Amino acid sequence: MMYFTNSLSIISPKNRAWKKLVDWIRRFEHILILDECSLDALKMEIEAKVNEINAEHPKLKPIIFSGDNSQISGCISARVMSCGCPDTVFNLNYCVVKSTYAFSEDNSKETILLDSQKGGQS
């Protein structure tokens, strides 16, 4: 299945570590993710960046990575616990690509819109 990062919610950075992560995560807004393996790799790359930023700023409260294991739609996020309450750094939402569309001058070919009946696989 293919996935699409359909929204990125960013909270105003409260320090340099947050700003560094927010500036870096913007590159993943509105991208296609080709398969489950790529989705897992994306989550691992984001988690590695969070760990790297935490190591660079040891005096700050650590940023906590969260990536759910849903294969239909989900959210990758980062937060900081402040006085027992989560303070969100970002939420990156993704969903399954139901189908794709391609123009063809050959009328004998059916449109690609039928992919949604196959579970989103192309």
* Per-run averaged pLDDT (10 residues), the chain, 122 residues: 93 92 96 93 96 96 88 87 90 91 68 50 44
Question: How far is the C-alpha of 122 from the C-alpha of 112, rounded, in Å?
Answer: 8
- Per-residue model confidence (pLDDT) at position 111: 55
- Per-residue model confidence (pLDDT) at position 84: 85
Give, in order, the Cα–Cα distances in Å from 12 to each of 16, 22, 40, 45, 109: 11, 9, 27, 22, 49
- Per-residue model confidence (pLDDT) at position 83: 87
Residue owning tokens 């959210």: 75
- Per-residue model confidence (pLDDT) at position 121: 45
Indicate the pTM of the whole model.
Answer: 0.81
Question: How far is the C-alpha of 96 from the C-alpha of 92, rounded, in Å?
Answer: 14
- Per-residue model confidence (pLDDT) at position 114: 47
Question: How far is the C-alpha of 55 from the C-alpha of 104, rounded, in Å?
Answer: 52
- Per-residue model confidence (pLDDT) at position 116: 45
